[in-house]
Amino acid sequence: MTDLGRAASAREKSAAAVSKVLALLGDREHRGVVVDSPPGAGKSTLVVRAARELAAAGEPLIVVAQTNNQVDDLVDRLAEAAPELAIGRLCGQGYVPSDGVARHAGVVVEQQVRVLGGCLVIAGTAAKWATVSEGYWRWAIVDEAYQMRSDMLLRIAGRFSRGLFVGDPGQLDPFSTVEVDRWTGLTWDPMLSAVAVLLRNNPGLPVCQLPVSWRLPSSAAPVVAEAFYPFTGFTAGSDAGQRRVEFSTRAFGAGLLDEAIDLAAASGWALYELPARHTIRTDGEATAACAALAERVLQRGLICYSERAPGGELAGPGRIAIGTAHRDQAQAIRAQLGPLSAAGVTVDTANRLQGREFDLTIVLHPLSGRRDATAFHLEAGRLCVLTSRHRHACIVVARAGIPELLDAHPATEPVHLNVPAKFPDGWAANHAVMAHLANRKVRAL
Amino acid sequence: MSALLAFARAQAVAAGIAQPVSTVRHVHLSDRPLVLIALTLAGEANAPLAAMVGDGPESGRLLIVSQPRNRDQRFAFAAELAGIVVGHIDRYRESAGAVRPGRAGRRERYADAPQIIVPNPASIGFVRLLGRSTRFRRPVGEYAVDPAVPVLGRWLTFFAERAEVPGSSLLLAATQALALHWASGQSMVEDLNLAALMGWIDPPAGLTGAEAATIAEDPLAWPPAGPATDPTFDNEVLAPLIRACSRHGMSSLRQELAVFDLHKALAGQLAPTWKLMWRAVELLRALPPGQRVAARWESDRDAFTSYCEHLRDGGPPQPRRDSAVAAARRLNSLERSQASYAAQRALDDPLVLAQYRLTGEAFGGLVTTAEPDRVDASGKRRKLRPLITVLTDDPVRIEPGSDLVSPNRPGQSAKVRSVSGGSVGTSVVLELSGGMGRALTAAPGSVPETGERLCYTTLTDSYQARGPFPDREATPWTHGGPPPAYTPTHADVTEDWS
């Protein structure tokens, strides 16, 4: 198939999925629709589209997202797409409208939902909606529903009669600061995600998939799909010809770092493997390697060619991210980066990188240098977030010996009655990713 | 495990004795706690075999079940245990003048509440399961039991549920309480063995902690603290005795002799742990209580008071499962308790705060400049907002704009104005508010002075509002709709014991 042909067929598939969702919203048969979206599959676009269609049909609706940034982003996109729409931005105390919200004159920012009576669409965070005790809307669109805990859904579900729940099932599950197993097995376990509880209590609800990732390059989509979306899968919206990277300078003098960077540029992936060693969490050599890779990429000038910029554009520090499992690791890398961190290279944990997109990412593998593989470090969502933020290439930094570590720590989590098995399994997903990286390895030092 | 805790454990290995990881006691200790050690029969789900219970080292009573597989004997055991446990609880309910008015006369709480101490977390599980299997029983009708049994079940359930609440001291596991205050040189799994942990903390004269812990691994010298028993004891002592107790066609005298032997054998299993438990209580009591321990005990007393009222008003037993709304409410309350407990411990105890200083959530340093009389005139009213600069060597991971408190000055909050790293350390500029009197000049001593050493942390103990939740009848469709109301029925008693 030609490039154009493949892109066109991807667009068709994607459009068909979106129309199916919109058709389901139109019929009165179900109280809710769940849409699973792999990384970068146009989730926000779908939310904006659905909100516009519902509003156009005269149905007042609320939009629920998890953070203020997410709400602001959705409001900005919605106001951009439908300037004529009266949009309310429900906010908490001390909220300062972002530029994206402030630039739209049609968006009313208010703390009280009463004042927003004239708005057909009202958007706010789940935490804010939970404090609203009056009003009833025909529709709610819940974004990032897999990252919302079910007790939060319980608090807001009384405000609407029908819901569209959109989210990425592969990302990190919500968590709690307390460890209690008294609700394990109940269909309304408050520790589960909103979608899990919704589907267990309403097994007949339609679940749709968005089939095309517009973010992940064709080198990454099959790997991520196989490891983290084993049953639904998805394809890349672009192909190898459309996405490629070049460097404005040639490799010279930085040896192994350049080897890893060139490998990633050519194949989309690289594993920068440090010698096996048990280390503390903030492994000095590994954090230094992450920082050095980022620095080297910027020194050499990363030029990205994609369907957005067919002529190529230089990726600045803002287009590069370093992902870690723990906050202290991120802090250690930031300290190593020094001025580059200030220049805009994002260094953060998987939790905070959720929903974000970069040209090139460098990942400190969660299991690097560990003696054990705990449930936290094995969690499929963590590795999925870390390895699916990039548009072009991903470099994984790890100590050697992760497959052996995995084999030494088979999953020992107890199996509970009445709890459906969760897929993908973190252990298998980790193995799948390591298997793919095995022949894209650069041995450092 | 925090870096500091790991370091303390390494130090314990080097020193040969457990190292203190707190300067104050973080649990409340009653004057007469009820110590309960229980053993169960291997292979049966929570079938009680023996219990030693009492509120003083000399007043321990041993209860045994000579045939744990016999249902009637189990309930006889439960009734006997109820006599002691519920009797202990009732002393706190009935003592004259126990109720005193709360704030503004709105609330009332008992002046004190009972406290139960068990050896380890698994024993809390025993309490929970025994409560589960007795609270739905009935004193009349089919399978009637002693009226005290369902009351015991409700109280045990109350205590076990309360033990889930972070910072509650109504039901304590000794190993957890000890591990909160001392770091041993063994793993956390080994710390669950009371005898080994006590070996590290309080080794006999002439032995190191490691040696004492090794001796404690011998089940002959130190039988397990329950609820599981030592398998060799099960095979060689327990099985023949139980068989002898219930052999058919045996004279009653020989049977009585067998029960006597079983009694003696089980007493031998429980006595060492009984002594250890009271030694552990003694060690904990020797620590000075933290400043905020009393406030947490007040909320335990509140919980106790309201459950007493629930029982007095004839309320139903705790449901088998939490409904959707009850589960969400409970999780919310547990999370709030967890946050406030963590903050309270750090504010009470410099050693706990040190763990946060290592991770950058707190810092300690020297006040280098102070502007005690700075007034903020930007708003409608002029406000006293002194500025101080604190120079610290700690790794600071606090964003400008965060609100901090100092354990030394809990009534005062500090907003971070700027954080700047330099060659000599990190300078943090703080804007203070509160706790300085009403005038536009700060009351003497209310603003830290140059040269003072202070700690600040992002952890706050301030009141967090309870999240709003729908009523049970308004459970939304996403969570299965309103659940049917629970009405006690006779079918409850036909449930299997286990």
**A224-239 per-position pLDDT tens digit:** 999 999 988 899 988 8
Nearest chain A residue to B324, by CA: A188
Give me the pLDDT at residue A90, please: 93
pLDDT of A428 > 50? The answer is yes
- Encode burial over B5-17: b for 16+ CB neighbours within 10 A, e otherwise: eeebbeebbeeeb
Residue percentage of chain A with pLDDT more than 70:
98
The answer to the question of residue B389 being in a domain is: yes
Report how many domains make up chain B. 2
- Residue B407 structural domain: 350-457
Which residues of B are less than 8 Å from A150 in CB distance? 328, 479
| Nearest chain A alpha carbon to B332 | A151
User: Would you call A153 an interface residue with chain B, using a CB distance cutoff of 8 Å?
Assistant: yes
Say if residue B289 is in the same domain as residue B377: no
Look up residue A162 and give its amino acid: R
Kindly provide the ipTM of the predicted complex, given to two decimals.
0.89
Task: Answer with the residue of higher pLDDT: B247 or B310.
Answer: B310
- Asked whether this chain's domains A3-213 and A221-443 adopt the same fold, the reply is yes
Mean pLDDT for B23-27 is 96
**pLDDT above 90 for B419:** no
The answer to whether the CB atoms of B479 and A133 lie below 8 A apart is no
pLDDT band at B438 (very low <50, low <70, confident <90, very high): confident
Q: Which residues contact B4 (CB under 8 A, 6 or more apart)?
A: B21, B351, B354, B355, B358
- Within a domain: B482: no
Mean pLDDT (whole number) for A114-122: 88
In sequence order, which ranges of B349-483 are alpha helices (DSSP H)? 350-359
- pLDDT at residue B498, as a whole number: 42
Which pLDDT value is given to residue B106? 53
Least CB-CB distance to A154: which of B166, B324, B338? B324
Q: What is the CATH number of the domain that holds B416?
A: 2.40.30
A58 pLDDT higher than 90: no
Residue A1 pLDDT:
47
Q: Please indicate, yes or no, if residue B336 is contained in any of the structural domains.
A: no
Per-residue pLDDT band at B94 (split at 50, 70, 90): confident
Of B164, B335, B479, the CB nearest to A188: B479
* Section A149-178 average pLDDT: 92
pLDDT tens digits along B146-157:
999 999 999 999
Structure-model confidence comparison of residues B262 and B409, the more confident one: B262
Query: Nearest C-alpha of chain A: how many angstroms from B334?
Result: 7
In this predicted structure, the answer to whether residue A243 has a pLDDT above a threshold of 80 is yes
Q: Which residues of A touch B421 (CB under 8 A)?
A: none
Q: How confident is the model at residue A4 (pLDDT cuts 50, 70, 90)?
A: low
Quick one: closest CA in B to A332, which residue?
B395
Rounded to a whole number of angstroms, the distance from the CA of B14 to the nearest CA of chain A is: 20
Flag whether residue A323 sits within 8 Å of chain B, measured between CB atoms: no
Same domain, B119 and B265: yes
- Pick from A130, A191, A197: which is nearest to B468 by CB? A130
pLDDT band at A34 (very low <50, low <70, confident <90, very high): very high
- Is B468 a domain residue? no
Q: Which of A159, A175, A183, A416 to mutate to test the interface with B (most CBs of B within 10 A)?
A: A183
Cross-chain Cβ contact B478/A191 below 8 Å: no
State pTM to two decimals: 0.90
> Is there a contact between A208 and A33 (Cβ–Cβ < 8 Å)?
yes
Per-residue pLDDT at B313 exceeds 50: yes
Cα separations in angstroms, B260 against A54, B66, B76: 79, 10, 18
User: Chain A: residue nearest B338 by CA?
Assistant: A178
Residues B366 and B301 in one domain: no
Q: How far apart are CA A340 and CA A290, in angstroms?
A: 12
**Whether residue B245 is found in the same domain as residue B111:** yes
Q: How confident is the model at residue A5 (pLDDT cuts 50, 70, 90)?
A: low
In this structure, the answer to whether residues B306 and B368 fall within a common structural domain is no
Bond preceding residue B227 cis, omega within 30 of 0: yes
Residue A164 has pLDDT above 90, yes or no: yes
Q: How confident is the model at residue B101 (pLDDT cuts 50, 70, 90)?
A: low
Q: Does any CB of chain A come closer than 8 Å to the CB of residue B359?
A: yes
Can you give the residue ranges of every domain in chain A? 3-213, 221-443
The confidence score (pLDDT) of residue B336 equals: 92
- Mean pLDDT score of chain A, rounded to an integer? 90
| CATH fold of A3-213 | Rossmann fold (3.40.50)
Kindly state whether residues B52 and B191 are assigned to the same domain: yes
Six-digit token string for A257: 């770092």
pLDDT for residue B200 is more than 90: yes
Instruction: Kindly report the nearest CA distance between residue B278 and chain A, in angstroms.
Output: 29
pLDDT of residue B341 exceeding 70: yes
Class of A221-443 in CATH: alpha beta
pLDDT at B460: 82
> Is residue B290 over pLDDT 80?
yes
Is B328 part of any domain? no
Say if residue B407 is in the same domain as residue B265.
no
Rounded mean pLDDT, B480-488: 82
In chain B, the percentage of residues whose pLDDT exceeds 70 is 97
Closest CA to B318 of B488, B166, B148, B471: B488
A4: exposed, middle or buried (Cβ count in 10 Å: 0-12, 13-18, 19+) = exposed
What is the pLDDT of chain B when averaged over all its residues? 89
Q: Is residue B325 part of a domain?
A: no
Residue A162's pLDDT band (cuts 50, 70, 90): very high
Q: Which residues of A touch B339 (CB under 8 A)?
A: 177
A303-348 pLDDT per residue, tens: 999 988 888 899 889 999 999 999 889 988 988 887 776 678 999 9
Chain B residues with CB under 8 Å of A131 CB are 468
The closest CB to that of B339, out of A177, A186, A191, belongs to A177
Q: Confirm whether B491 is domain-assigned.
A: no
